[in-house]
């Protein structure tokens, strides 16, 4: 590392004003801050309100996402080989299939997102921020694996430009960038995101997984199946076999790669909570809100709304609820920052996610819209909490006088 540090110091003058490569100064800064912790501090625009620096925060979140990423790769292969009737294949073969299926999506996500950020930094002569390190891996985890790469590229570009750069870059955005990517795909290409279309990749990749799908094949997500049910909801896997709550908890069901396994997501949650990166108030409040609303709608079932007949625990295990609660709602930039505000913010996300999911079959997921909605209201929630505190203290002072 010392030799690398010496090399970076040696070439630095070439990238500074007046140097041969001065136009690439932001590229040098981006590489240096990626390799080494900078010895400078933020003077304005800080958005992480504790002792953590941005790099440490981003890397910790990426580490927490690894269990969901690895399981997602395995599940892609598992669902594929199940679809073609070769479920006897070993776990390594299934994992390798999923790995090669996800790599292009990851490359496109980082290539497009970082490319735009590099270009923006060059144009405005700003430092390249590390914020997209997390967004770049979140996008492949929440986008269906069968989404065409050009759609993913277009959605990523839209999100980075209009949900991040236009607001001033990392720390200035009011909406979660990864969720804006998913929202763009959902509203622009609903057939790929609605959940009632196959969420399984059945193509052969590098000669792996060749074959034809079985006659009973259906790759729709459980929530997609529930939304299109008539009367009692029925959830089945690719082969038409019933899906239990345990299946959903483990994650061996169709769905976006990172959102199916609650076990993998909870491992990530433990990492975020132990390191103090994520707010336990928001995370726990989301689950409490979802559980409470799930219990309420379950107590008032209706055949008109099939999702109301799912028990509360199953509601939490399906779709992107757990993933959103752990990795999206806890975004320090777009979430509430006051302690009381975080409770309210998380609780409302859980409540609205179930409400949207149950009573609007056009949006069977619910979590995406709930988080984006509360992103917009997070500043108002904090404002109300702060104003309430000021008024309460003013009354206390007046009483003492």
Q: pLDDT-based confidence at 395, cuts 50/70/90?
A: confident
pLDDT beyond 70 at 189: yes
Range name among 126-130, 176-180, 233-237, 325-329 with the lowest pLDDT average: 126-130
Q: Tell me, what's the pLDDT at 28?
A: 64
Opening angle at CA 75, ends 69 and 78, nearest 5: 150
Q: Tell me, what's the pLDDT at 48?
A: 47
C-alpha pair distances (Å), 230 with each of 35, 123, 221, 239, 319: 56, 55, 16, 20, 20
pLDDT beyond 90 at 104: yes
pLDDT beyond 80 at 3: no
pLDDT beyond 60 at 304: yes
Tell which wins on pLDDT, 86 or 91: 91
Q: Give the number of other Cβ atoms within 10 Å of residue 142's Cβ.
A: 25
pLDDT in tens, 111-138: 999 888 888 777 766 766 667 889 999 9
CB 329 within 8 A of CB 270: no
Tell which wins on pLDDT, 243 or 41: 243
Q: Tell me, what's the pLDDT at 401?
A: 65
Opening angle at CA 253, ends 372 and 214, nearest 5: 130
Mean pLDDT across the chain, nearest whole number?
86
Q: Tell me, what's the pLDDT at 46?
A: 47
Q: pLDDT-based confidence at 30, cuts 50/70/90?
A: low
Report pTM. 0.87
Q: Summarize the confidence of residues 197-206 as an average pLDDT.
A: 81
């Amino acid at each position: 590392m010392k030799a690398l540090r010496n090399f970076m110091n040696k070439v630095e003058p070439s990238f500074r004003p007046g140097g041969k490569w001065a136009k690439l100064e932001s590229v040098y800064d981006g590489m240096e801050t990626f390799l080494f912790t900078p010895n400078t501090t933020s003077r304005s625009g800080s958005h992480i309100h504790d002792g953590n620096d941005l790099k440490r925060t981003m890397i910790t979140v990426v580490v927490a996402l690894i269990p969901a990423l690895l399981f997602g790769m395995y599940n892609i292969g598992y669902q594929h080989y199940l679809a073609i009737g070769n479920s006897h294949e070993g776990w390594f073969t299934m994992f390798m299939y999923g790995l090669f299926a996800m790599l292009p999506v990851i490359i496109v996500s980082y290539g497009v997102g970082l490319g735009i950020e590099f270009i923006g930094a060059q144009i405005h002569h700003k430092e390249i921020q590390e914020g997209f390190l997390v967004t770049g891996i979140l996008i492949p985890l929440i986008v269906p694996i069968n989404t065409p790469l050009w759609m993913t590229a277009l959605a990523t570009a839209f999100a980075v430009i209009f949900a991040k750069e236009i607001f001033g870059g990392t720390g200035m955005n009011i909406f979660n960038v990864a969720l804006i990517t998913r929202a763009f795909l959902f509203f622009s290409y609903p057939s790929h995101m609605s959940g009632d279309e196959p969420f399984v990749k059945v193509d052969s990749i590098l000669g792996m997984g060749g074959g034809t799908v079985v006659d009973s094949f259906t790759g729709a997500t459980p929530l997609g199946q529930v939304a299109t049910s008539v009367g009692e909801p029925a959830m089945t896997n690719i082969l038409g076999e019933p899906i239990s709550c345990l299946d959903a908890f483990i994650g061996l069901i169709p769905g976006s790669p990172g959102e199916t396994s609650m076990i993998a997501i909870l491992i990530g949650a433990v990492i975020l909570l132990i390191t103090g990166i994520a707010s336990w108030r928001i995370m726990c409040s989301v689950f409490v809100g979802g559980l409470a609303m799930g219990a309420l709608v379950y107590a008032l079932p209706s055949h008109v709304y099939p999702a109301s007949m799912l028990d509360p625990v199953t509601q939490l295990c399906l779709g992107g609820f757990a993933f959103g609660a752990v990795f999206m709602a806890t975004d320090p930039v777009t979430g509430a920052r006051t302690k009381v505000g975080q409770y309210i913010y998380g609780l409302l996300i859980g409540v609205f996610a179930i409400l949207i999911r149950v009573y609007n079959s056009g949006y069977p997921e619910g979590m995406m819209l709930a988080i984006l909605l509360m992103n917009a209201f997070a500043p108002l929630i904090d404002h109300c909490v702060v104003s309430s505190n000021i008024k309460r203290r003013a009354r206390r002072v007046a009483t003492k006088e």
